[in-house]
Amino acid sequence: MSHSYTLPSQVQLLPATPQLKGLMTIIRAKDTTRSDFIFYADRIIRLLVEEGLNHLPCIGKNVETPTGATYNGIDFEGRICGVSIMRAGEAMEQGLRECCRSVRIGKILIQRDEETHQPKLFYAKLPKDIDSRYVLLLDPMLATGGSAMQAVQVLLDNNVREDRIIFLNLIASPEGIENFVAKYPKVKIVAGEVDNNLDSNKYIVPGVGDFGCRYFGTD
Protein backbone atom coordinates (compact mmCIF):
# COMPACT_ATOMS: atom_id res chain seq x y z
CA MET A 1 0.00 0.00 0.00
CA SER A 2 1.33 3.43 -0.85
CA HIS A 3 2.20 5.41 2.27
CA SER A 4 0.46 8.49 0.92
CA TYR A 5 -2.94 6.78 0.92
CA THR A 6 -5.15 7.66 3.87
CA LEU A 7 -7.94 5.21 4.63
CA PRO A 8 -11.47 6.66 4.89
CA SER A 9 -12.89 6.48 8.41
CA GLN A 10 -15.45 3.79 7.56
CA VAL A 11 -12.70 1.35 6.49
CA GLN A 12 -11.27 -0.90 9.20
CA LEU A 13 -8.15 -2.92 8.44
CA LEU A 14 -7.25 -6.06 10.34
CA PRO A 15 -4.27 -5.42 12.65
CA ALA A 16 -1.07 -5.90 10.61
CA THR A 17 0.25 -8.69 12.83
CA PRO A 18 3.06 -11.07 11.84
CA GLN A 19 0.42 -13.83 11.71
CA LEU A 20 -1.71 -11.96 9.16
CA LYS A 21 1.36 -11.05 7.10
CA GLY A 22 2.44 -14.69 7.11
CA LEU A 23 -1.00 -15.88 6.00
CA MET A 24 -1.13 -13.25 3.25
CA THR A 25 2.35 -14.28 2.07
CA ILE A 26 1.17 -17.86 1.60
CA ILE A 27 -2.04 -17.10 -0.30
CA ARG A 28 -0.35 -14.51 -2.53
CA ALA A 29 2.48 -16.83 -3.64
CA LYS A 30 1.75 -18.18 -7.13
CA ASP A 31 3.20 -21.62 -6.33
CA THR A 32 1.02 -22.22 -3.24
CA THR A 33 -0.96 -25.45 -3.69
CA ARG A 34 -4.75 -25.27 -3.82
CA SER A 35 -5.16 -27.12 -0.51
CA ASP A 36 -2.78 -24.70 1.22
CA PHE A 37 -4.49 -21.73 -0.45
CA ILE A 38 -7.86 -22.86 0.91
CA PHE A 39 -6.55 -23.58 4.40
CA TYR A 40 -4.75 -20.25 4.87
CA ALA A 41 -7.40 -18.17 3.08
CA ASP A 42 -9.95 -19.71 5.46
CA ARG A 43 -7.88 -18.53 8.42
CA ILE A 44 -7.88 -14.95 7.11
CA ILE A 45 -11.62 -15.17 6.43
CA ARG A 46 -12.18 -16.26 10.03
CA LEU A 47 -10.24 -13.20 11.25
CA LEU A 48 -12.36 -10.96 9.01
CA VAL A 49 -15.63 -12.40 10.28
CA GLU A 50 -14.51 -12.00 13.90
CA GLU A 51 -13.62 -8.36 13.26
CA GLY A 52 -16.87 -7.76 11.37
CA LEU A 53 -18.85 -9.03 14.37
CA ASN A 54 -17.06 -6.47 16.54
CA HIS A 55 -18.93 -3.74 14.68
CA LEU A 56 -22.39 -4.96 15.64
CA PRO A 57 -24.22 -2.96 18.33
CA CYS A 58 -24.30 -4.50 21.81
CA ILE A 59 -26.37 -4.14 24.96
CA GLY A 60 -25.41 -5.03 28.51
CA LYS A 61 -26.32 -8.46 29.81
CA ASN A 62 -25.65 -9.83 33.28
CA VAL A 63 -25.39 -13.58 33.84
CA GLU A 64 -24.95 -15.70 36.92
CA THR A 65 -21.86 -17.94 36.85
CA PRO A 66 -21.59 -21.41 38.43
CA THR A 67 -19.89 -19.79 41.43
CA GLY A 68 -23.07 -17.85 42.15
CA ALA A 69 -21.45 -14.54 41.20
CA THR A 70 -22.66 -12.13 38.53
CA TYR A 71 -20.72 -11.49 35.35
CA ASN A 72 -21.38 -8.16 33.62
CA GLY A 73 -21.36 -9.10 29.96
CA ILE A 74 -22.96 -8.08 26.69
CA ASP A 75 -25.37 -9.45 24.14
CA PHE A 76 -25.63 -8.61 20.45
CA GLU A 77 -28.58 -6.35 19.87
CA GLY A 78 -29.53 -7.19 16.30
CA ARG A 79 -29.81 -10.35 14.24
CA ILE A 80 -27.43 -10.86 11.36
CA CYS A 81 -27.29 -12.65 8.05
CA GLY A 82 -24.63 -13.12 5.42
CA VAL A 83 -24.83 -12.31 1.72
CA SER A 84 -22.11 -13.65 -0.56
CA ILE A 85 -21.28 -12.12 -3.91
CA MET A 86 -20.96 -15.22 -6.09
CA ARG A 87 -18.75 -16.98 -6.87
CA ALA A 88 -15.68 -15.96 -4.89
CA GLY A 89 -17.77 -14.70 -1.97
CA GLU A 90 -19.06 -18.22 -1.41
CA ALA A 91 -15.56 -19.11 -0.17
CA MET A 92 -16.32 -16.94 2.88
CA GLU A 93 -19.61 -18.60 3.85
CA GLN A 94 -18.07 -21.41 5.90
CA GLY A 95 -16.03 -18.97 7.97
CA LEU A 96 -19.21 -17.08 8.80
CA ARG A 97 -21.02 -20.30 9.73
CA GLU A 98 -18.16 -21.28 12.05
CA CYS A 99 -18.59 -18.05 13.99
CA CYS A 100 -22.39 -17.77 13.83
CA ARG A 101 -24.32 -21.01 14.20
CA SER A 102 -27.17 -21.60 11.74
CA VAL A 103 -26.74 -18.13 10.21
CA ARG A 104 -28.82 -17.44 7.12
CA ILE A 105 -26.83 -16.67 3.98
CA GLY A 106 -28.17 -15.10 0.81
CA LYS A 107 -26.47 -14.96 -2.57
CA ILE A 108 -26.05 -12.32 -5.26
CA LEU A 109 -24.58 -13.12 -8.67
CA ILE A 110 -23.04 -10.17 -10.47
CA GLN A 111 -20.83 -10.64 -13.49
CA ARG A 112 -18.57 -8.14 -15.11
CA ASP A 113 -18.98 -7.48 -18.80
CA GLU A 114 -15.49 -8.16 -20.18
CA GLU A 115 -15.84 -5.41 -22.79
CA THR A 116 -17.18 -2.56 -20.67
CA HIS A 117 -15.92 -3.79 -17.25
CA GLN A 118 -19.39 -2.85 -15.95
CA PRO A 119 -21.12 -5.14 -13.44
CA LYS A 120 -24.44 -6.75 -14.34
CA LEU A 121 -26.88 -8.38 -11.91
CA PHE A 122 -27.86 -11.93 -12.86
CA TYR A 123 -29.39 -13.42 -9.72
CA ALA A 124 -30.29 -12.58 -6.13
CA LYS A 125 -31.72 -14.81 -3.40
CA LEU A 126 -31.98 -13.19 0.03
CA PRO A 127 -33.52 -14.10 3.41
CA LYS A 128 -37.14 -12.91 3.48
CA ASP A 129 -36.67 -10.84 6.63
CA ILE A 130 -33.35 -9.32 5.55
CA ASP A 131 -34.73 -5.80 6.06
CA SER A 132 -34.68 -6.40 9.83
CA ARG A 133 -31.12 -7.74 9.95
CA TYR A 134 -27.54 -6.58 9.94
CA VAL A 135 -25.87 -7.85 6.78
CA LEU A 136 -22.31 -9.12 6.45
CA LEU A 137 -21.58 -8.76 2.73
CA LEU A 138 -18.92 -11.24 1.61
CA ASP A 139 -16.46 -10.86 -1.28
CA PRO A 140 -12.73 -11.60 -0.98
CA MET A 141 -11.55 -8.95 -3.44
CA LEU A 142 -12.50 -5.28 -3.77
CA ALA A 143 -11.03 -4.27 -7.14
CA THR A 144 -12.99 -1.57 -9.01
CA GLY A 145 -15.81 -1.75 -6.47
CA GLY A 146 -18.37 -2.24 -9.24
CA SER A 147 -19.73 -5.61 -8.12
CA ALA A 148 -19.80 -4.61 -4.46
CA MET A 149 -21.66 -1.36 -5.21
CA GLN A 150 -24.20 -3.23 -7.33
CA ALA A 151 -24.66 -5.74 -4.50
CA VAL A 152 -25.24 -2.96 -1.95
CA GLN A 153 -27.85 -1.45 -4.27
CA VAL A 154 -29.64 -4.82 -4.35
CA LEU A 155 -29.65 -4.84 -0.53
CA LEU A 156 -30.97 -1.27 -0.37
CA ASP A 157 -33.68 -2.20 -2.88
CA ASN A 158 -34.69 -4.91 -0.39
CA ASN A 159 -35.01 -2.32 2.40
CA VAL A 160 -31.76 -3.09 4.19
CA ARG A 161 -30.49 0.03 5.94
CA GLU A 162 -27.18 1.26 4.55
CA ASP A 163 -25.69 1.67 8.02
CA ARG A 164 -26.46 -1.98 8.79
CA ILE A 165 -24.20 -3.35 6.06
CA ILE A 166 -20.66 -4.48 6.86
CA PHE A 167 -18.59 -5.44 3.81
CA LEU A 168 -15.85 -8.02 4.46
CA ASN A 169 -13.00 -8.53 2.03
CA LEU A 170 -9.47 -9.91 2.17
CA ILE A 171 -7.73 -7.56 -0.24
CA ALA A 172 -8.84 -4.15 -1.50
CA SER A 173 -7.49 -1.60 -3.96
CA PRO A 174 -7.39 2.12 -3.12
CA GLU A 175 -9.47 2.80 -6.26
CA GLY A 176 -12.15 0.34 -5.20
CA ILE A 177 -12.34 1.79 -1.70
CA GLU A 178 -12.63 5.35 -3.03
CA ASN A 179 -15.38 4.42 -5.51
CA PHE A 180 -17.31 2.43 -2.92
CA VAL A 181 -17.07 4.94 -0.08
CA ALA A 182 -18.06 7.83 -2.35
CA LYS A 183 -21.30 6.04 -3.24
CA TYR A 184 -22.13 4.36 0.08
CA PRO A 185 -20.53 6.35 2.91
CA LYS A 186 -22.52 4.59 5.66
CA VAL A 187 -21.35 1.06 4.84
CA LYS A 188 -18.47 -0.20 6.96
CA ILE A 189 -15.65 -2.03 5.16
CA VAL A 190 -13.48 -4.53 7.03
CA ALA A 191 -10.45 -5.51 4.93
CA GLY A 192 -7.36 -7.64 5.41
CA GLU A 193 -4.94 -5.49 3.44
CA VAL A 194 -5.04 -2.63 0.95
CA ASP A 195 -2.83 -3.16 -2.10
CA ASN A 196 -1.05 -0.70 -4.38
CA ASN A 197 -3.34 -0.22 -7.37
CA LEU A 198 -5.27 -1.83 -10.23
CA ASP A 199 -3.50 -2.83 -13.44
CA SER A 200 -4.82 -2.22 -16.97
CA ASN A 201 -6.98 -5.36 -16.71
CA LYS A 202 -8.53 -4.09 -13.45
CA TYR A 203 -6.74 -6.73 -11.40
CA ILE A 204 -5.45 -5.82 -7.94
CA VAL A 205 -1.63 -5.53 -7.76
CA PRO A 206 0.18 -7.32 -6.16
CA GLY A 207 -3.07 -9.20 -5.42
CA VAL A 208 -3.58 -12.97 -5.44
CA GLY A 209 -4.67 -13.53 -9.01
CA ASP A 210 -8.20 -14.89 -9.48
CA PHE A 211 -9.30 -15.78 -5.95
CA GLY A 212 -12.31 -17.87 -7.01
CA CYS A 213 -10.30 -19.96 -9.45
CA ARG A 214 -7.55 -20.61 -6.91
CA TYR A 215 -10.02 -21.45 -4.11
CA PHE A 216 -12.47 -23.60 -6.09
CA GLY A 217 -9.86 -25.11 -8.41
CA THR A 218 -11.42 -24.05 -11.68
CA ASP A 219 -9.99 -22.25 -14.68
Name the nearest CA neighbour of 214 among 111, 82, 117, 91: 91
H helix or E strand, kind and range, residue 214: helix 211-216
The CA distance from 187 to 183, in Å, is 9
Query: Tens digit of pLDDT for each residue in 164-215?
Result: 999 999 999 999 999 999 999 999 999 999 999 999 988 999 999 999 999 9
Task: Please tell me the predicted confidence (pLDDT) of residue 113.
Answer: 72
Can you give the pLDDT at residue 138? 97
Q: Catalogue all structural domains in the chain, each as residue range(s) with its CATH number.
A: 11-216 (3.40.50.2020)
Cα-atom radius of gyration of the chain, to the nearest Å? 18
Question: Under 8 Å CB-to-CB from 178, ≥6 apart: which residues?
Answer: 8, 145
Q: What is the pLDDT of residue 29?
A: 97
What is the model's pLDDT at position 81?
A: 94
The per-residue pLDDT for 4 is 57
pTM: 0.91
- Digits of tens for pLDDT over the chain (219 positions)? 444 578 999 999 999 999 999 999 999 999 999 999 999 999 999 999 999 999 998 999 999 999 999 999 999 888 899 999 998 999 999 999 999 888 999 999 988 777 777 778 888 999 999 999 999 999 999 999 989 999 999 999 999 999 999 999 999 999 999 999 999 999 999 999 999 999 998 899 999 999 999 999 875
Which H or E run includes 146?
Answer: helix 146-157
Peptide bond into 79 cis (omega under 30): no
